[in-house]
Amino acid sequence: MQSRLNAVRTAFPFNPMRKVNFMNAPAMLAFAAVCVAGAAGCQRGHSADTVATVNGKPILRSDVEARFQDTLGESHQQPSQEQADIVRLNVVRDLIDQEIVMQRATKLNLAASDEEVDSRVNELKAPYTQEEFNKVLAEKHLTLDAMKRQIRTGKTEEKLFNKEINSKINITDADIANYYNAHKAEFNLPEPQYHLAQIVVTSIPAPAQQVGNLQNSKAMNDADAKKKIETLHNRIISGEDFGMLAANFSEMQANAQSGGDMGFVSESQLHAEPEVYAAINKLQLGQVTEVLPLYGNTPAGKKAVGYAIYRLVDKEAAGQRELNDPRVQQAIRKQLRDARSQLLQNAYIEMLRDQARVENYFAEQIFKSGAQ
């Protein structure tokens, strides 16, 4: 449920819903009938721009359409009318759940304050000039007020779930021991593991907005790439934070905004790149490599496509991890807590929905028109 409700999802929170695969959309056809069943017998008087109400508060068609367009993103796949309405039904359901949660938080005096919202806005603006920040907002089709509304929603949900759910979760030592004993093989590493982070700069031209870093920074040729990576390396050596530089300038879309974090990489995987393995094997924890060439597979074979810097975050030797290892306990505790929190959030939302008076006019409209 949290994946559906959180409006602030990443370091720059402008995509509140996951993209939709229309090939799977027909599996949701029964959803309209479910929505209508809960609203049967209600008065249907409402304005043309109201698609649903939660305890009398309207969900507006304009908000649904804005979220619908965001869901489609830049996909060139055009949905049929039926597929589009299935997506809209899901959007309406999300907005209903969001409004239910917001009303509950307001009742408990847990709504995010203006100060909390402004603080988060300032964090997001920090890497940018005002002109750059305005450009990012424009690329995301957002106004500053719209971004603040998303932040307010996310902060309010976070405060509510922390008070009502997360504060009540207790993972005991017995829970951790039981999980470990049932999954002991998961903590037996057959070979050494290296926790790495990377900064990547490629010489392959691409639209700046596709590189995934906060500055939309992209090298367009080899000379540009080499100059950029050497500048970044010098900044790291001078003491600047590796993760911050990766988030702002790395061109590896998969991990730039997570500070270049690659997670754990096995020794055998590193052996596939002997130059990278040799460089990393010389590092102490926290150190970085020199600038290394980056290769990509092409029809003509391996080809240099740019440059990379790697940081050794941690290293784990092969062998069985014991229960008394603090890292093992921490990992198990987090996994159990996250799973329990997700379960309780789902149940909590269902309980709040049962207590709310919800009228889904859009679902009824779809059902009636489809049943003719």
Question: Which residues are 202's β-sheet partners?
Answer: 306
The mean predicted confidence, pLDDT, of the chain is: 85
Instruction: Please work out, in degrees rounded to the nearest 5, the angle formed at the alpha carbon of residue 165 by the alpha carbons of 160 and 168.
Output: 130
Task: Give the amino acid at 267.
Answer: E
Average pLDDT over residues 19-36: 42
Judge whether 201 and 189 are in contact, CB under 8 Å.
Answer: no
Residue 252 has pLDDT above 80, yes or no: yes
Q: What's the predicted TM-score (pTM) here? A: 0.65
Break the chain into its structural domains and give their ranges: 2-166+342-370, 191-317
Residue 291 has pLDDT above 80, yes or no: yes
Burial class of 286 by CB neighbour count within 10 A (0 to 12, 13 to 18, 19+): exposed
Average pLDDT over residues 300-312: 90
Can you name the CATH fold of 2-166+342-370? Triger factor/SurA peptide-binding fold (1.10.4030)
Condensed to tens digits (0 to 9), the pLDDT of residues 143-163 reads 999 899 999 999 999 999 999
The Cα 256–Cα 18 span in angstroms is 19
Specify the long-range contacts of residues 271-279, CB closer than 8 Å, at least 24 apart. 276/308, 276/310, 279/310
The Cα 269–Cα 280 span in angstroms is 13
pLDDT value at residue 44:
54
The answer regarding whether domain 191-317 maps to CATH 3.10.50.40 reads yes
pLDDT value at residue 18:
37
Cα–Cα distances in angstroms (integers) from residue 80 to residues 116, 159, 240, 363, in the given order = 41, 39, 50, 18
Query: What is the side-by-side order of every strand in the sheet holding 57-60?
Result: 57-60, 50-54, 358-360
Average pLDDT over residues 215-241: 93
Residue 28 has pLDDT above 50, yes or no: no
Closest to 90 measured CA to CA, from 150, 6, 40, 18: 18
Q: Which of 64-78, 117-131, 169-183 has the lowest mean pLDDT?
A: 64-78
pLDDT value at residue 73:
66
Residue 228, token pair as written in the block: 């950029």
pLDDT value at residue 158:
95
Judge whether 197 and 273 are in contact, CB under 8 Å.
Answer: no
Answer positive or negative: Cα dihedral of 238, 241, 246, 247: negative
Residue 3 has pLDDT above 50, yes or no: no
pLDDT value at residue 90:
93
Query: Which secondary-structure segment (H or E) carries 130?
Result: helix 130-139
pLDDT value at residue 74:
57
Percent of the chain with pLDDT over 70: 85
